[in-house]
Amino acid sequence: MPAVAESPGHYGYGRLASSAEIAGWDIDVRGDDGAGLPPGKGSVVQGAEVYADQCAACHGAFGEGEGRFPKLVGGIGTLKHDRPELTVGSYWPFAPTLWDYINRAMPMPAPHTLSADDVYALTAYILNLNDIVSSDFVADRDSLPKVQMPNRNSFVWIDPRPDTAAKPCMNACIDPNDVKITSTAEGRNLTPRTTGPLDTMQPK
Ligand code: HEC
> Cβ contacts of residue 135 below 8 Å, gap of 6+?
44, 45, 128
Q: List pLDDT tens digits, range 147-196.
A: 999 999 999 888 888 877 778 888 888 888 888 888 888 778 777 766 66
- CB of 97 closer than 6 angstroms to any ligand 1 atom: no
- CB of 106 closer than 6 angstroms to any ligand 1 atom: yes
Phi then psi dihedrals of residue 80, to 5 deg: -95, 0
Residue 1 has pLDDT above 50, yes or no: no
Phi then psi dihedrals of residue 183, to 5 deg: -160, 150
Residue 71 has pLDDT above 70, yes or no: yes
Q: List pLDDT tens digits, range 138-152.
A: 999 999 999 999 999
Per-residue confidence at 203, pLDDT binned at 50, 70, 90? low
Please tell me the predicted confidence (pLDDT) of residue 117: 98
The beta-carbon contacts of 21-29 under 8 Å, at least 24 apart in sequence, are: 27/100, 27/103, 27/104, 28/100, 29/96, 29/97, 29/99, 29/100, 29/103
Q: How far apart are CA 85 and CA 65, in angstroms?
A: 12
Q: Which of 53, 108, 123, 128 to mutate to test the pocket of ligand 1 (most atoms within 8 A of CB)?
A: 108
Q: List pLDDT tens digits, range 75-105.
A: 999 999 999 999 999 999 999 999 999 999 9
Per-residue confidence at 135, pLDDT binned at 50, 70, 90? very high
- CB of 129 closer than 6 angstroms to any ligand 1 atom: no
- CB of 56 closer than 6 angstroms to any ligand 1 atom: no
Please tell me the predicted confidence (pLDDT) of residue 4: 46
- CB of 69 closer than 6 angstroms to any ligand 1 atom: yes
Q: Are 99 and 142 in contact (CB under 8 A)?
A: no
Please tell me the predicted confidence (pLDDT) of residue 157: 86
Per-residue confidence at 3, pLDDT binned at 50, 70, 90? very low
Q: List pLDDT tens digits, range 30-47.
A: 999 999 999 999 999 999
Q: What Å distances lie between residue 109 and 41, 58, 59, 97, 159, CA to CA?
A: 24, 11, 13, 20, 37
Rounded distance from Cα 136 to ligand 1 centre (Å): 24
Query: Which of 64-78, 125-139, 187-201 shows the lowest per-residue confidence on average (mean pLDDT)?
Result: 187-201
- CB of 71 closer than 6 angstroms to any ligand 1 atom: no
The region, left, alpha or beta by phi > 0 then psi within -120 to 50, assigned to residue 172 is left
